[in-house]
Amino acid sequence: KIHSVCRKPVPYPKTENVFRFQIPDHKVSWTVDHPEYKPVEYTNPGIQGQVWADHEITPENRPEFTGRGTLGRWGPNHAADPIVTRWMRNGSEVMLHPVSSKYRLEFLAIQRREGKAWALPGGMVDKGEQALDAAQREFCEETLNSKSWKSAAQSQQKHIVSQLFAWSQPVYHGYIDDARNTDNAWMETVAFHVHDPSGYLTNKLNLHAGDDAVNVKWTPVDKNTTLFANHNDLIHKVAQYMNAHWSSDPRYLTNKL
């Protein structure tokens, strides 16, 4: 039986007389209509003001947008984002930024079909899929147009990608400030950094936007790059731990991590 413990007709934990709205077994499924459903509202006063608890919803900050909007799932909608970088080169020389005196990184960005913003080539994690596998799959779909791969030449591309992704570092996991978010449904991601130190492998990639991407290009890692959602914050994390150029602004010129 599904949700049987949390449907029990006993007082809610830490209360004496707060009882749940009772739902019969046959009305539990999301696919069954239940217009009479009126859940009891209850928040334990003890959680208010705790550092680990969310702020209370007051009339001033009351939800302005409930429902799921365009997202498929209630609560977190899980995505994965690949951040594939290499050093920016002028011929064989790695480029040093004249102001920050730091080496410059570039990463692969795609232009999203919807909205046309430049972004990380990420996407939703499929049911049962590992986040890293999703990041690699979306990378192939959006920067290499893998959905139309057929010949043996393209299986060579697959091989290069698996060599690239053999080294990966999770750099962020959590909330994404995505325009699709509502109070009841929002994007979360796991971002993986994949670095190609010599540029040898990435040089062999046959870049070709595909699926929900319409363009792909190497883009400088830089504070002033405008990206979809808060993707540039994720790029910033990579710049920090690679000690790469981020900004000419004096506030960013120290080596503080």
- Residue numbers 31-70 binding Mg ion by CB under 5 A: none
* Alpha carbons 221 and 236: distance in angstroms, whole number: 8
| Among residues 109, 120, 123, 160, the one that binds Mg ion under rule CB under 5 A | 123
**Closest separation in Å from C-beta 210 to ligand RP5:** 12
With CB under 5 to 8 Å by kind, the binding choice for 94 among ligand RP5, Mg ion, none is none
Q: Quick one: which of 3, 4, 244 has its CA closest to 107?
A: 244
End-to-end CA distance of the chain: 50
**Closest separation in Å from C-beta 118 to ligand RP5:** 11
* Alpha carbons 88 and 195: distance in angstroms, whole number: 12
Q: Given the complex with Mg ion, which of 133 and 247 has the nearer CB atom?
A: 133
Q: Given the complex with ligand RP5, which of 100 and 230 has the nearer CB atom?
A: 230
Q: Quick one: which of 236, 158, 152, 228 has its CA closest to 193?
A: 236
* Alpha carbons 24 and 22: distance in angstroms, whole number: 7
Sign of CA pseudo-dihedral 136, 142, 148, 153 = negative
**Closest separation in Å from C-beta 37 to Mg ion:** 34
With CB under 5 to 8 Å by kind, the binding choice for 196 among Mg ion, ligand RP5, none is none
With CB under 5 to 8 Å by kind, the binding choice for 79 among ligand RP5, Mg ion, none is ligand RP5
With CB under 5 to 8 Å by kind, the binding choice for 120 among ligand RP5, Mg ion, none is ligand RP5
Candidate segments 42-50, 134-142, 170-178, 234-242, binder of Mg ion by CB under 5 A: 134-142
| Among residues 212, 215, 217, 247, the one that binds Mg ion under rule CB under 5 A | 212
| Cβ-based neighbours of 33, under 8 Å, separated by 6 or more | none
Q: Given the complex with ligand RP5, which of 34 and 173 has the nearer CB atom?
A: 173
| Cβ-based neighbours of 149, under 8 Å, separated by 6 or more | 140, 155, 157, 158
Q: Given the complex with Mg ion, which of 154 and 240 has the nearer CB atom?
A: 154
Q: Given the complex with ligand RP5, which of 79 and 216 has the nearer CB atom?
A: 79
From residue 72, alpha-carbon distances to 39, 113, 120 in Å are 23, 19, 20
Q: Which residues bind ligand RP5 (CB under 6 A)?
A: 79, 81, 119-120, 122-124, 176, 178, 187, 189, 212, 229
| Cβ-based neighbours of 186, under 8 Å, separated by 6 or more | 71, 75, 76, 77, 175, 176, 178
Binding region for Mg ion (CB under 5 A): 123, 138, 211-212
